[in-house]
C-alpha cells in the first residue's frame, strides 16, 4: 500500500527569515489527512536566512532530530549541550520531561537548509538527552546508512521510538533496496534530486508512505538523489 505526499501539496509558511514546508500538520497549518504517519509526526523542510533562527523554546515528550542539507545550525540547550550541526551529521534530542533549546543559522550571511523531524516516543517521562554524530553519507554513496535506532545498532544514535532512520546519497540511476523485517511500515522522503520508489516517481520534497510491503527499492533519477528512509513499527 502506498500514499504519496507531493512536495507542492505540503503546507507552507514564509516569515522572511524562515521559509518552511510542512509534510504534516504543524503550527497554524492543519490538514486532517496528514497528521503524521505511525510514530512520525513532523517533517519540516526549513531554509533559515543568515543570522536568523529559533529563540529559546521548549519541548516535551518528543524525539527530535535535525538533518542539515546546507550550511550549519548552532544549537544550545538547557541541559548544557551546544554545538554546530553540519551536513553529514545527525542531531538528536529526547525531549522527555522537558528541554529548552535554541537553533540559529551558524552563518550571518549564508542561508542554512535543514529537515526538522519529530517522532512520538515509545516511553514517556524519561530524562532529556542530547546527542550529535557524524556519518559517512557523502563519502560512501549508494548505500543506506543507519543513523538512529532504538538499540543503537551499527553505531547509530540511540533514540526512544519504534523506528529506524536511514539516509543515502545515490548517484545517477543507482538503486538500493531494503527488506522489511519486524517493522512493516516506512516513509521515504526525497531531500534532493528525484527517485523511483517501488514504482512511484518522486521529486525533491515528495514523501511516500508504505505499508505491508516486503521491501523498499529506491532508484535515483538522472541527477542523483539524497533520501531519508524511516522504517516504522
**Per-residue pLDDT tens digits for 110-167:** 999 999 999 999 999 999 999 999 999 999 999 999 999 999 999 999 999 999 999 9
DSSP letter (8 states) at residue 172: T
C-alpha cell at 198: 517501488
pLDDT (0 to 100) of residue 48: 98
Q: How many residues does the chain have?
A: 233
C-alpha cell at 78: 538547557
C-alpha cell at 154: 551499527
Q: Taking a C-beta distance cutoff of 8 angstroms, is the pair 72, 109 a contact?
A: no
Whole-number Å distance between alpha carbons of 115 and 221: 21
User: Could you give the 3-state DSSP secondary structure of residue 7?
Assistant: helix
C-alpha cell at 111: 542561508
Q: Taking a C-beta distance cutoff of 8 angstroms, is the pair 73, 103 a contact?
A: yes
Whole-number Å distance between alpha carbons of 55 and 41: 22
**Per-residue pLDDT tens digits for 85-105:** 999 999 999 999 999 999 999
Read off the pTM.
0.96
User: Could you give the 3-state DSSP secondary structure of residue 70?
Assistant: strand
pLDDT (0 to 100) of residue 185: 98
**Per-residue pLDDT tens digits for 179-227:** 998 999 999 999 999 999 999 999 999 999 999 999 999 999 999 999 9
Q: Taking a C-beta distance cutoff of 8 angstroms, is the pair 207, 23 a contact?
A: yes
Mean pLDDT value of segment 229-233: 98
Amino acid at each position: 500500500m502506498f500514499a504519496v505526499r507531493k512536495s507542492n501539496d505540503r503546507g507552507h509558511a514564509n516569515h522572511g527569515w524562515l521559509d518552511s514546508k510542512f509534510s504534516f500538520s504543524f503550527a497554524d497549518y492543519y490538514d486532517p489527512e496528514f497528521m503524521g504517519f505511525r510514530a512520525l509526526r513532523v517533517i519540516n523542510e526549513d531554509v533559515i536566512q543568515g543570522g536568523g533562527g529559533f529563540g529559546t523554546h521548549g519541548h516535551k515528550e518528543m524525539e527530535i532530530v535535525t538533518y542539515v542539507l546546507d550550511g550549519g545550525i548552532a544549537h544550545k540547550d538547557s541541559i548544557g549541550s551546544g554545538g554546530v550541526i553540519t551536513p553529514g551529521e545527525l542531531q538528536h534530542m529526547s525531549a522527555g520531561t522537558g528541554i529548552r533549546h535554541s537553533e540559529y543559522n551558524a552563518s550571518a550571511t549564508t542561508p542554512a537548509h535543514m529537515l526538522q523531524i519529530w517522532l512520538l516516543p515509545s516511553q514517556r517521562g524519561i530524562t532529556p538527552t542530547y546527542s550529535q554524530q557524524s556519518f559517512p553519507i557523502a563519502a560512501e554513496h549508494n548505500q543506506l546508512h543507519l543513523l538512529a535506532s532504538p538499540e543503537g545498532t551499527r553505531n547509530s544514535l540511540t533514540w526512544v521510538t519504534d523506528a529506524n532512520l536511514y539516509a543515502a546519497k545515490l548517484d545517477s540511476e543507482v538503486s538500493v533496496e531494503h527488506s522489511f523485517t519486524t517493522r512493516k511500515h516506512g516513509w521515504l522522503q526525497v531531500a534532493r534530486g528525484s527517485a523511483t520508489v517501488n514504482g512511484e516517481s518522486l521529486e525533491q520534497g515528495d514523501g511516500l508512505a508504505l505499508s505491508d510491503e516486503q521491501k523498499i527499492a529506491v532508484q535515483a533519477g538522472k541527477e542523483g538523489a539524497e533520501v531519508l528512509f524511516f522504517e516504522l513499527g
